[in-house]
């Protein structure tokens, strides 16, 4: 591809989640004509190109989490010099719990052109298959790995009214679902979507308790879709707020984290919860 300063651009290209046949004509053209391809896994890129019958003439660089910050300056230089840089991740759209957003932000700040070749998304695919309300939703990515951090993060989402979509490692799915039962309630409707678009695709629908009970045999890539809280939100009084802070502190949270968690849970200003907790301590 001939390049010019006017034609330089960054292209975010969505790749198949599983079936190679889901690759778009736009993806094939982007790979065929790119000057540079930044790939999360260069081996997967070569395998995808071979499966698609696309000869790669571009310069190929690795672009995964540990190196993405270091790669950005040179990629911006190439775009500024007129090159078309195509960014691909292992599956789905770049930037969605995958490398990409830092490069997009840097390119936009530099006034460079950023565009996309739309493609598959595990978030939207799971949401559509879940059977749960999809008119309003929030994507929460991967829950924290550490139990305490995960507990606080989920507690802050307990009153979220929108449908929630999470990614989770198959190695942590049991403990994650158990934590969700604690945070959201055993009867909260949910869907566990695994191996989307692949040979062993499966969507399990039920309550969080039911999904947690059957999580021991889950294999493959997992996306969780959790119904929002449809109960009317009731803001506790100061005594109840202080009690919730004290309960979190008793289970290992720092006082600061406990105040933050309770404030987020009820969408309250932090100072309101802090004042309630402080007043309760002064009475003890």
Domain ranges for the chain, please list them: 9-120, 123-226, 238-283
The confidence band for 148, taking pLDDT boundaries of 50, 70 and 90, is: very high
First to last CA, the chain: 74
CA atoms within 13 A on the CB side of 4: 2
Q: Match 């009731």 to its residue by tokens.
A: 234
Question: Percent helix, strand and coil across the chain, each rounded to 5?
Answer: 45, 20, 40
Rg (CA), the chain: 23
Q: The tokens of 48 are what?
A: 């995808």
**Matching fold, domains 9-120 and 123-226:** no
Residue 146: burial class (beta carbons within 10 Å; 0-12, 13-18, 19+) = exposed
- CA-closest candidate to residue 117, choices 39, 276, 10: 10
Q: Is the pLDDT of residue 187 over 50?
A: yes
CB 61 within 8 A of CB 39: yes
Q: What is the pLDDT of residue 234?
A: 62
Largest CA distance in the chain: 75
Q: Is the pLDDT of residue 1 over 70?
A: no
Q: What is the pLDDT of residue 60?
A: 97
Q: What is the pLDDT of residue 284?
A: 63
Domain 9-120: homologous superfamily in CATH: Tetrapyrrole methylase, N-terminal domain (3.40.1010.10)
Least confident range of 23-37, 127-141, 252-266 = 252-266
The CATH class of 123-226 is: alpha beta
Average pLDDT over residues 199-225: 91
Q: Is the pLDDT of residue 104 over 80?
A: yes
Q: What is the pLDDT of residue 7?
A: 79
CB 263 within 8 A of CB 229: no
The confidence band for 2, taking pLDDT boundaries of 50, 70 and 90, is: very low
Q: What average pLDDT is seen over the chain?
A: 92
**Residue 69 to residue 77: CA distance in whole angstroms:** 14
- In terms of residues, how long is the chain? 284
Residue 56: burial class (beta carbons within 10 Å; 0-12, 13-18, 19+) = middle
Q: The tokens of 265 are what?
A: 């849970």
The confidence band for 233, taking pLDDT boundaries of 50, 70 and 90, is: low
pTM of the model: 0.74
**Residue 175 to residue 212: CA distance in whole angstroms:** 8
Average pLDDT over residues 227-254: 85
The confidence band for 206, taking pLDDT boundaries of 50, 70 and 90, is: very high
């Amino acid at each position: 591809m001939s390049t010019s300063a006017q034609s330089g651009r960054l292209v975010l290209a969505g790749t198949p989640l599983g079936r190679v046949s889901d690759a778009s004509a736009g993806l094939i053209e982007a790979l065929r004509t790119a000057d540079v391809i930044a790939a999360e896994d260069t081996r997967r890129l070569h395998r995808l190109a071979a499966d698609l019958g696309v000869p790669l003439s571009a310069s190929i660089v690795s672009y995964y989490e540990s190196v993405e910050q270091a790669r950005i300056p040179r990629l911006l230089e190439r775009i500024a010099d007129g090159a078309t840089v195509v960014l691909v991740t292992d599956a789905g759209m770049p930037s969605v719990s995958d490398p990409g957003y830092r490069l997009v932000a840097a390119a936009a700040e530099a006034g460079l052109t950023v565009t996309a070749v739309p493609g598959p998304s595990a978030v939207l695919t799971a949401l559509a298959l879940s059977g749960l309300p999809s008119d309003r939703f929030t994507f929460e990515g991967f829950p924290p790995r550490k139990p305490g951090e995960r507990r606080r993060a989920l507690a802050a989402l307990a009153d979220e009214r929108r449908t929630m979509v999470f990614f989770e490692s198959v190695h942590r799915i049991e403990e994650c679902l158990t934590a969700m039962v604690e945070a959201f309630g055993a009867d909260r409707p949910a869907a566990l979507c695994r191996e989307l678009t692949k040979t062993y695709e499966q969507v399990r629908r039920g309550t969080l308790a039911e999904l947690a009970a059957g999580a021991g045999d889950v294999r493959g890539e997992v996306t969780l879709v959790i119904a929002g809280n449809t109960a009317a939100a009731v803001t506790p009084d100061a005594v109840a707020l202080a009690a919730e802070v004290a309960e979190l502190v008793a289970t290992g949270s720092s006082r600061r984290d406990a105040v933050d968690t309770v404030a987020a849970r009820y969408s309250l200003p932090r100072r309101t919860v802090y004042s309630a907790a402080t007043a309760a301590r002064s009475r003890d």
